[in-house]
Amino acid sequence: MASGKLPWELEEEILSRLPPRSLVRFRSVCKHWNSLFKDKRFVKKHLSRARPQFIILTESKKMYSIDIDMGGTIEVRELSYDFHCQPMKTKFTTIMACDGLLFREFWKQGVAVWNPWLRQVGWIEYKDKYFHICGVGYDSCRPEKGYKILGYIICIRRVSDSLQEGYDKVAIYECASQALKFIDTPFNHWPTKDPLSVNGNLYWLAQNRETLEYFIQTFDFSMEIFKPFCLLPCRKDYCSNELVLTVFKDDRFSLLNQSFETRKIEIWVSKMKIDREEEVVWIKLMTLPTTNLPKLDYKYCGISYFIFEETLIMCCGDDETGAACIYMVRGDMFKKIQIDSGIVRFSQCVYLPNLLSVPFVSHQV
C-alpha cells in the first residue's frame, strides 16, 4: 500500500495558508512542525498571506484582536494578558507594534513586550522613570534583529537666575545590551500620533514649520538619525481635511485623505516597497464618495485602517458616543459594527501573529 504521507514541501505550503490560531494549536502536533513555525523564512511566508488585524484598547481597559474576512464576518477575541502592573491612567498608555510583537508602555513603570498569540510577556524596567517611549525598531543592516526603543526624557535646564525651562532629550534603549544612551541631536518633529514601524525604521507625518508642508519623517535605527523621507501626494489643511498614514501590504505606505465637508475619502499608496534609497512614487488607489464614515478630525487616539481586495476596513470611535466600531466600505457596500461600548484609547492595524518567542526575559536596567 502506498504511503499517505505528503511531500514535505506540499505540507509546508498547506501549513503556510492556515489561519494563525490553527498554527498556534498545531505547535504541539510534532517537533518538525514546532521547529517550522519558529523558522523565520516560514514566518515571513505566512505573514505575506495574512490579512492585517486590529488591536484595540478601550477606556474600560479591555484589549481585543479583531479579524475580518471579506464576507463581512468579524471575529472578536478579548486578549487575556498577565502584566505585573497596571497603567495609572489609560490615556498614559502607549502601545507600539513591531514585527507582530506588541510593546506596551506603562508610564513611569516600564514596557511589556507581548506576543498575544503565544501568550508570552517580557518586561523592561528603566532606572529613569521619566523615559517615554515613541517607537520600536531595529538595525536592519545587521543579520540578527536587535530591538531598539526610541524615546525621550524630559529634562530641566536653567536659562537665567530666575528661570528654568523643560526640554526633550532624545534617547535610545538597546534591548540586547539593556543600555540607555542619549543622542546629541536637536529635534522638533516628535510624532503627534503613534509612528509606524516598517523594516526596522519609524515613519510618521510631520509638518515643516516654515513652509507648512506635510511630509513623512523617519528615524533610521541603523544610522540613529532623524531625516525627512518623502513628500505627500496631497496637501493637509487643518480646516478642510484629515490625513491618516498606515502600512499597505506589509512593506508599502497607504495614505487616507478625508474631506471634512463631503466626507469623501481618497486612498493613496506608494508604488514600490519602502526603501531608503528609492524615491517614493504615489498612486491613487481608490476614491470613496461615502458620507457614512465618521469625521476623523480630533480623534488623536484610535484611528487605524487597512485595504484588502479593494475594501476599506477602518477601526475608530463612533462620532457621537466614541464607542469602538468597525467600518467596511467597498463600492456601494457599507457596514458598521460596534465592538465595545468603551471609548477607543488605542487602535493599530498589525500583521499578526509573530510565531517567534518574545526575545526578552524580565529584567531591570
Dihedral (CA of 349, 198, 36, 9) sign:
positive
Q: How many Cα neighbours within 13 Å face the side chain of 28? A: 4
Strands, E assignment, 161-233: 163-174, 179-182, 196-198, 201-207, 214-220, 225-231
189-242 pLDDT per residue, tens: 677 777 888 888 999 998 887 888 889 999 999 888 898 899 999 888 777 888
At residue 92, the pLDDT reads 55
Q: What's the angle, vertex CA 42, arms to CA 145 and CA 249, rounded to 5?
A: 75
Kindly state the percentage of the chain with pLDDT values over 90: 11
At residue 336, the pLDDT reads 86
Residues in the chain: 365
Measured N-to-C along each axis, helices 40-49 and 8-16 cross at an angle, to the nearest 10 degrees, of 50
Distance spanning both ends of the chain, measured CA to CA? 62
At residue 310, the pLDDT reads 83
User: Which of 264, 263, 250, 347 shows the shortest CA–CA distance to 307?
Assistant: 250
Q: Which grid coordinates belong to 256?
A: 487616507
166-196 pLDDT per residue, tens: 777 888 988 888 888 888 776 666 777 778 8
| DSSP annotation of 132 | E
Name residues of the chain where pLDDT drops below 70: 1-4, 47-51, 58-61, 69-72, 81-93, 128-129, 186-189, 276-277, 290-291, 298-302, 340-365
Amino acid in the structure at residue 81: Y
What does DSSP say about strands 363-364 and 225-231: parallel, antiparallel, or unpaired?
A: unpaired
Neighbouring C-beta atoms of residue 353, cutoff 10 Å = 24
At residue 58, the pLDDT reads 66
Supply the DSSP string of 345-365, one letter for each residue.
Answer: EEEEEE-----SPPS--SEE-
CA distances from 190 to 14, 59, 205, 211 (A): 44, 25, 9, 18
